[in-house]
Amino acid sequence: KAKQAGRNTYRVFLEEMSEKSLQHFQLEHALPDAIKGDQLFLEYQPKVSCETSEVVGFEALLRWQHPEHGLIMPDDFIPVIDESNMIIDVGEWVIENVIKQLSAWRDAGATLLPIAINISGHHLHSNTLTAYVEKLMTQYGISGELLEFEITEGVLTGNTEESIAALTALKKTRIRLSIDDFGTGYSSLSYLKKFPVDVLKIDQAFIRECSVNIEDAAICKAIITLAKSLGLEVIAEDVENQEQLQFLKQHHCDVYQGYYFSRPIAAKHAMTLLEQNLSVS
C-alpha cells in the first residue's frame, strides 16, 4: 500500500515536472551555480556483508539543496544533464568531494572503507576521467582500492572500443568497477568477458519480490551463480525487509544495501559507522 502511494506521488511529481519543462530548463541553468556554491552535497549509503552484517563500504549519492526548489533528488536532474558536458562537471565535483571525505575521515583516525561513485557514460568516455581521479588521489593520498566506480551496463554496450580504452586506463588506478542495475540494461552478457568488471549489483527490479516470486528468485540465484563463477563480487541493492535478506543469505549473496539496514545518511553519521566498525574488529 505504502509503496503504491509512493509511486503515485512520484508519478504526479514527474507529471508536474514535465508540464513545467521550463523548470527543467532553469534547473539545468542553475546547476553551474550549485556546483560552484554549496548547494550540492553527498549522502552515503552503507554496504553490508550478508554473512557478517559488518559495513564493508558506502555508495555516495548526490543531492541538490536548491534555495527555491528545495531538495532535488538525482533522478530529477542527472537525466536532464546526462548527455551534456555538465555531467562531467558534476561527476568531477562528486569525485573530488568523495576523495576529500576519505582524507578527512583518515585524518580523524577512522579506518577507511571503500566508497562507490556513480559515473555516467558520457563521463566515462570523455578521456578526462582517469587523469582527473588520479590527480586527486595523489593530491589527497588516497589509493584506488578505496574507490569504486558504478556504471550501468547500457554504457558498455554501444561504445565497445571506446569503453575498452577508458576502462583499461581506469584499471591501472586500481579503482574497482561495478555494474549498476545489473540485469536491466538489455544487453549481451559478452561484455562481462571483454571488460575488467569486479562487481555486479543486482537491480531492485529482481530484489523487490525475490522472496515471494519464483521468477525473481530464479533470476537472483542465476545472477549470484554467474557472478561467483566469474569470480566477481555480487551486491543486492534496495533490500527493504528481513525476507529479502534471508533469501540473499541463503543463496550466498556477498553484500547488500538498502533501507532495511540504512537509508543514505549524512557524512557525519557514516563516520559513526566507521568508528563502530573499528570497535568490533
Residues in contact with ligand C2E by CB under 6 A are: 45, 61-62, 73-75, 78, 94, 118, 120, 150, 180-181, 237-240, 258-259, 264
Question: What sections of 108-190 are H helices per DSSP?
Answer: 121-124, 129-140, 154-158, 160-171
Site string for Mg ion, 189-208 (x = CB under 5 A): ---------------x----
Contact 227, 201 (CB under 8 A): no
Q: Which stretch binds Mg ion (CB under 5 A): 13-21, 82-90, 179-187, 269-277?
A: 179-187
Compute the distance between CA of residue 254 and CA of residue 278 in angstroms, rounded to an integer. 21
Nearer to ligand C2E among residue 110 and residue 236 (C-beta): 236
Of 180, 216, 233, 254, which one interacts with Mg ion (CB under 5 A)? 180
Q: Which of ligand C2E, Mg ion, none interacts with 62 (beta carbon under 5 to 8 A by kind)?
A: ligand C2E
- CB of 231 vs ligand C2E, minimal distance in Å: 23
Residue whose grid cell is 530548463: 25
Nearest to 35 by CA among 78, 81, 90, 84: 90
Contact between 118 and Mg ion per CB under 5 A: yes
C-alpha cell at 159: 561504445
- CB of 143 vs ligand C2E, minimal distance in Å: 21
Contact 146, 114 (CB under 8 A): yes
- CB of 244 vs Mg ion, minimal distance in Å: 14
C-alpha cell at 280: 568490533
